[in-house]
Structure 1
């Protein structure tokens, strides 16, 4: 094949925030994409001259900011997206889970799974998120994959499981591990959608299940994720059952390691942070969830400290019962604010640190920094163009400060995932959005009815049509 027959896309003229090791920002720079890869990053005039014969499409990013795709390291693609805006925030501790999430998960049908995952994926890409780690709760992994594939997002999938107590997806350890084995074989690592070993975590897994899940993830070379210690409940239960705090116990079992991404990790003590760091275990930090649910992150969360000490920390958006927004830039801002305010230290953590968590740091935390997280030659073409034409961006100066403190996902104009355009002019172009929204409303009504839940209104609603 001659070079003239190779189609290439030029994203030209934007301020390119590379997130490369030097954190170079190329003012008025460009990126060249061929198929699913970035093949050049640099001066616009030089790249236009060098690739003039092969450029078949151009995205004009003049005056815009161009960044790597954002990473959402913990998001419930099913169970929550169809009931967003329904779950009250004035609930007793735990009620949002046991009175809402558990019955909703138990009532989820395969149709619900596909529509819910599609809605979540569209919401992600429209906010510049190009990679999402599923937190579990999938009843039908294949239908979820269909929804994710339709949108074109990069994602991990995994079916939930626990073997202690009752509830949706509960089963003996061997059965849970068989489910996990099926998913990781169906969706091997390295694809746009890959299978991960995915447990509920908390205190809902026996030592047999925890060790077996970790061994499985290591043996097939994939990731593993589970929930742990968003509140004081997990430490209290582990101390009562094992005499050790959760991460110390997991370390003694050989579960911790670079393959593991723990969601939350708010209530960790010094010993747990030490084993987290020494084993290179990663954290997915979802600050809006802890704030909405009142879980004590300002007094107990130490994620900024963990990141400063070299820990692998990513950001996540969690679930509808714990924060209805799917916006990593908004999440980065609150993460930076909590880190600064909790320590009364304005020098320890800032916008640039938080944006690293949203890009290259997040990619490192989920074990994909060799593929995504920065705009560098050879990496997958996951790219976001941010519109800076509004007054929120005037005057222009430091993109790190502007992206985190000054804007949110509404600035996202165009999004490319794996070399494919999925958002253009702030609309998802891979699915029929109006038709999806109508279908989601129908599934919403049906799901609530099947779960036996009546969604209340805090303020009186009157039909005024």
Structure 2
């Protein structure tokens, strides 16, 4: 039995594109403009609801009881309703940007982006008891300073968090630094804008200077690490500084999973690599597990009721089947959970004491009908994108 797991960053609306993007993608820009934006341009309200329902079931059956969505593009209310049918806890908002290079069907200026973000947060707030609003932008490079400042104000007004992708790799960092002038780093730029604070979550933040870590620590901001190049970088120092650190899986076309335990496998492999330049500094499996439990809860301000098994906290519980081969012999259950097991051994899940997954099945969702609907919806999306699947549409019912 463990606390409910927390996936700190996942784009739930992209589940209909699962497994489609090639293994090798040249850069983030190619990923956005060749696959993600065309997908969202054609996605209907019904299809986005199917994708979100599928994501909710996927998460729950992997032991994830809370997810922070990276932002829906078109139909936040539909996504909130879809996630609510599964029983999962979620934080979500509308993904926004105001860069001129966005495709015509998704183009928006700063005023439109802020109106859209504000509308999405208003639509989500109070809609379902387990769904909370989140302010979400793509981040530097696709968001102007005015958009980031406005998004921060919206997060403050709603008493919630501002999320954006940040400092994913050296190339991204260098491109931002060259645009700021005076050799200002991305985190320093955010602090100068007055954005960096304890309700800001820097998703990725893989490339950092000592001064940037000082600023993150000083302002109380948090970091959410997703699987990617050198994703375990600075974990020991972040923890040593007391900076809240969560873990996310980003999308089912980046990590290709919703299972945070699989993400921890990647971090562990990087730390254990003999030639790694990532100092482990005594990091343990317990430290990694913290990222998807109480550490993840701290990044979302919910540690008062989630992230650990303690009297007075919500009964968000996950029961694993420890009679599977990956659990035997049971020598160190935390090591085995982080290093050898994964969400595939989840047996039952409770949220607020309510059974939501029973023997691997989500209660209240006809999963076979959902899977058939998802197969058909994905086929329609790919057709309108002008793309083709490797196999024909499957009939499951």
| 1:43-62 correspondence to structure 2 within 5 Å | none
2:12 paired residue among 58, 77, 83: 77
Question: CA RMSD of the aligned region, Å?
Answer: 2.1
Alpha-carbon distance between aligned partners in 2 of 1:99 and 1:150, rounded to the nearest angstrom? 32
> Is the Cα contact below 8 Å between 2:114 and 2:151 reproduced in 1?
yes
> Is the Cα contact below 8 Å between 1:225 and 1:262 reproduced in 2?
yes
Deviation readout 1:89-120 (Å, 9 max, x if unpaired): 03333433321112112211111110000111
Change (3 A) 1:421 1:311: same
| 1:335-346 correspondence to structure 2 within 5 Å | 335-341=267-273, 342-343=276-277, 345=279
Deviation readout 1:347-406 (Å, 9 max, x if unpaired): 521200001111001100121111210112222221101111123222223221121112
What corresponds to 1:220 in structure 2? Answer: 158
> Is the Cα contact below 8 Å between 1:87 and 1:320 reproduced in 2?
no
What corresponds to 1:281 in structure 2? Answer: 221
Q: Secondary structure at the match of 2:136?
A: strand
| 1:136-285 correspondence to structure 2 within 5 Å | 136-165=71-100, 166-167=102-103, 169-188=106-125, 191-243=129-181, 244-285=184-225
Alpha-carbon distance between aligned partners in 2 of 1:146 and 1:188, rounded to the nearest angstrom? 12
> Is the Cα contact below 8 Å between 2:204 and 2:225 reproduced in 1?
yes
Matched residue pairs, number? 385
What corresponds to 2:54 in structure 1? Answer: 119
How far apart are residue 315 of structure 1 and its match? 0.5
What corresponds to 2:257 in structure 1? Answer: 325
Deviation readout 1:172-224 (Å, 9 max, x if unpaired): 22222222222333333793101111111131111111111112211221111
Alpha-carbon distance between aligned partners in 1 of 2:140 and 2:351, rounded to the nearest angstrom? 33
How far apart are residue 265 of structure 1 and its match? 0.9
Which ranges in structure 2 are unaligned for 5 or more consecutive residues? none
TM-score by length of 2: 0.91
What corresponds to 1:135 in structure 2? Answer: 70
> Is the Cα contact below 8 Å between 1:227 and 1:264 reproduced in 2?
yes
Alpha-carbon distance between aligned partners in 2 of 1:163 and 1:345, rounded to the nearest angstrom? 38
Q: Secondary structure at the match of 1:127?
A: coil
Change (3 A) 1:383 1:273: same
Alpha-carbon distance between aligned partners in 2 of 1:265 and 1:186, rounded to the nearest angstrom? 29
Q: Secondary structure at the match of 2:372?
A: helix
Change (3 A) 1:346 1:279: closer
Deviation readout 1:390-446 (Å, 9 max, x if unpaired): 232222232211211120001100001232211101111220010000000000000
TM-score by length of 1: 0.79
Which ranges in structure 1 are unaligned for 5 or more consecutive residues? 1-65
**4+ residue runs of structure 1 moved beyond 6 angstroms?**
none
Q: Which has the higher strand share?
A: 1
